[in-house]
Amino acid sequence: MAVKQFRCSLESLAPVREAVSSFCLESGVPEVVEGEIELAANEVCTNIIEHGGLDPAHDNFSIDFEKESGAVVLTIRDRGKRYDFNSAKSIKNTKEMHKKRPRSGMGVFIIRQLVDAVIYNHLPDKTNELKLVKYLK
């Protein structure tokens, strides 16, 4: 398992994408799957940076990169505001997006479309932990 730390700043998004891409390349993950994981991780990290209430000068988030039997698992941890992904507001489909033009909920929808499982835990030390699981078919 490889763990990388990133500063809570929008400037960290390019290094996040590069880290995901490098991990996938080194792990032999197909290019299409790599793109889906990279986009999902970018969206999660954007939400942490923009909505987590963290200080870009002092706060970080981390990503653990794992390739398990038949799956890629990214575990993203931050100490920002508690955010229960499981009960998060989300659009239900793209038709709803076009009709309602929602101000929020699109990112959650996109993440759920790109990966096979999203598991949220709020740990005893007040860390948010979000696991993105993408099965390699």
Q: Specify the pTM.
A: 0.87
Beta pairing, strands 71-78 & 128-135: antiparallel
For residue 55, what is the domain's CATH number? 3.30.565.10
Percentage of residues in the chain with pLDDT exceeding 70? Answer: 83
Q: Which domain holds residue 57?
A: 2-135
Per-residue confidence (pLDDT) for residue 90, from 0 to 100: 53
Distance CA 59, CA 61 (A): 7
Q: At residue 83, what is the residue type?
A: Y
Helix %, strand %, coil % of the chain (to 5): 40, 25, 30
State the average pLDDT for the chain.
88
Mean pLDDT for the stretch of residues 2-30:
96
Q: At residue 60, what is the residue type?
A: N
More confident residue, 109 or 6: 6
Q: At residue 114, what are phi and psi to the nearest 5 degrees?
A: -85, -30
**Residue 6 CB neighbours (<10 A):** 20
Indicate the pLDDT class of residue 91, thresholds 50, 70 and 90: very low
Per-residue confidence (pLDDT) for residue 52, from 0 to 100: 92
Q: Which two tokens stand for residue 75?
A: 């575990």
Q: Which two tokens stand for residue 34?
A: 């790599």
**What is the domain count for the chain?**
1
